[in-house]
Amino acid sequence: MTLAQPPGCKIRITNRGLEMLKAETKKFVEGQLSNINMPAMSGTEGDFQYTLKDFKITELNLMSDLRFQPDAGLLFEMKDSSITLNLQRRLRYWIFYDSGAISASAKGVNIFIVLHLSKDEKGRPKISKFTCDLSIAKITSKFSGTLGGVFDFFGPLVTEFIRIICPDLNRAALRLDRLLETMPVRTEVDSYVGIDYSLLSDPVVTESSLDLDFRGMFYSLKNENETLVNYAVNPVDREYDRMVYLSLSEYFFDSGLFSYFKAGLFQTEMTNEQMSKDLEVILRTIYLGKIMMLNPVLMDQPLSLEIEVTSPPRSTINNSSASVAVTSMVKVLVLPAGQPPVQLSSMTMEVEFNAKVSMKGKHLIIHFDLRRFKIYSNQSVLESLALIPLQGPLKTILQTYVVAPINNHIKHGVKIPLPDGLDFIEEVVEYHN
């Protein structure tokens, strides 16, 4: 049996988080209702001839709520609300004419709107179904004139106007769905990598939360199809106390490290001019014999160090922290003028970094610190012992020429797919094995 791919990134929005979206949702619905357009209405009712036009909602008193609808999506509910509208009238009854403005109020307006959420074939969120039910308890009106008693037939006309709220909101939902269709699920992070936030399955909705499983996979812009296979565990959320939970598996970080590795970011060179005097002296002392054996003329030629990661780094998350393990090759070269570089030695360097994770708004920030490293010669144990004096200078090189540039490059972080109205401002970061 083939198992479904686990998500690299999972987001849970709880009822507390939904509270932050209520104001935005109410504002959106009020905007839609305030801008409803209805054509002029003309007709005959018994001996009356009427024309009603210039419908305009002037006051909204919405008692609204937004909550999760299990196995569906979001429920927006308005209970015991009121809507006031103005319109222009022209009425004729036999030889009597009447015209002017009418102010009508609908009281006890109840509207129940359900947005059914799913994913499309490309992994974008989709509004798969829209349902709307509306009821009105009472309509009153204020208008003067000779024919003020015609409200018996006027009330149903106002009701007909208010009932177009559902079709109008349905059209707004269709516009929103078309906007979702244009939302990219693969976006560039920087000039090296992009990230795939396609949904792996339909959103899971319960009374307490909305769970979204995203692929959460980085990829190299050089070759978008060369990606890391996901063997990580499925991140599991068991809590509902906070507004939003963001869960990231080791795959989220590993795919990023893999993509940067494939993009060629993890390599650097230190020229003789960039070396400290102490480092240069140590290198020339360690490799004096070898330089003399190769060619004594090389003694005064400049040196260089090349550091290149040899395999994709891997992350590890335990119950207290996250770390990244890196294996790289360090080459010591002498650079004779007008000639190809001469390699003096190659060393293997194993480095472990602390990875501190934080959030700023909608962006995930990672900051690396050097935890430990060891270096050994690929030629002999004796040479490995001779490399001990290099430990201190190499630590400085790693901090200055590797860790600092990487932290500076990724300091803006990567954007997390949170809806508008939700931002991390007081995050709590926990690590789980």
Q: Do the domain assignments include residue 296?
A: yes
Mean pLDDT of 164-177: 85
Q: Do the domain assignments include residue 303?
A: yes
The closest of 417, 328, 324 to 368, measured between CA atoms, is 324
Last residue in a domain, options 181, 201, 229? 181
Last residue in a domain, options 132, 161, 181? 181
pLDDT for the residue 220: 94
Share of the chain above pLDDT 90, in %: 34
pLDDT band at residue 1 using 50, 70 and 90 as cut-offs:
very low
* Six-digit token string for 332: 């010591």
Quote the CA–CA distance of 62 and 237 in Å, as a whole number: 35
pLDDT for the residue 293: 84
Are 270 and 162 in a shared domain? no
Torsions phi, psi for 269 (to 5 deg) = -135, 135
Examine the pLDDT at 152 and tell me if it is beyond 70: no
Give every CB contact of residue 240 below 8 A, 6+ residues apart in sequence.
12, 14, 15, 208, 209
Are 172 and 56 in a shared domain? yes
Examine the pLDDT at 2 and tell me if it is beyond 50: no
Write the pLDDT tens digit of every residue in 86-98: 888 888 877 777 7
Examine the pLDDT at 207 and tell me if it is beyond 90: yes
Quote the CA–CA distance of 103 and 17 in Å, as a whole number: 39
Examine the pLDDT at 123 and tell me if it is beyond 80: yes
pLDDT for the residue 288: 83
The predicted model scores a pTM of 0.82
pLDDT for the residue 175: 83
Examine the pLDDT at 276 and tell me if it is beyond 90: no
| CATH code where residue 93 lies | 3.15.10.10
pLDDT higher for 383 or 305? 305
Examine the pLDDT at 324 and tell me if it is beyond 50: yes
Examine the pLDDT at 191 and tell me if it is beyond 70: yes
- Domain span at residue 424 reads 266-433
133-137, 160-164, 366-370: least confident range? 160-164
Mean pLDDT of 212-229: 93
Q: Do the domain assignments include residue 195?
A: no
Examine the pLDDT at 285 and tell me if it is beyond 90: no
Mean pLDDT of 229-249: 87
Quote the CA–CA distance of 310 and 328 in Å, as a whole number: 5
Mean pLDDT of 210-222: 94
Contacts 24+ apart (CB under 8 A), 326-333: 326/266, 326/350, 326/351, 326/352, 326/353, 327/351, 328/266, 330/305, 330/306, 330/375, 330/394, 331/305, 331/306, 332/283, 332/287, 332/303, 332/304, 332/305, 333/303, 333/304, 333/305, 333/306
Mean pLDDT of 180-206: 90
Quote the CA–CA distance of 151 and 307 in Å, as a whole number: 86
Are 160 and 278 in a shared domain? no
| CATH code where residue 377 lies | 3.15.20.10
Examine the pLDDT at 155 and tell me if it is beyond 80: no
CA 310-316-319 angle, 5° bins:
165
Write the pLDDT tens digit of every residue in 44-83: 877 778 888 888 888 888 888 999 999 999 999 989 999 8
* Six-digit token string for 270: 């230190």
Contact 66, 74 (CB under 8 A): yes
Q: Do the domain assignments include residue 331?
A: yes
Are 171 and 302 in a shared domain? no
Are 45 and 171 in a shared domain? yes
What mean pLDDT, rounded, does the chain reach?
86
Write the pLDDT tens digit of every residue in 387-420: 788 888 888 888 888 889 889 988 889 988 876 6
432 vs 2, 248, 374, CA distance in Å? 26, 10, 27
Q: Do the domain assignments include residue 214?
A: no
Q: Do the domain assignments include residue 423?
A: yes
Strand order, beta sheet including 217-220 = 186-188, 193-196, 217-220
Are 148 and 55 in a shared domain? yes
pLDDT for the residue 367: 94
Q: Do the domain assignments include residue 30?
A: yes
Q: What is the number of structural domains in the chain?
A: 2
Examine the pLDDT at 151 and tell me if it is beyond 60: no
Examine the pLDDT at 149 and tell me if it is beyond 70: no
Last residue in a domain, options 166, 181, 196? 181
The closest of 313, 229, 331 to 8, measured between CA atoms, is 229
Q: Do the domain assignments include residue 233?
A: no
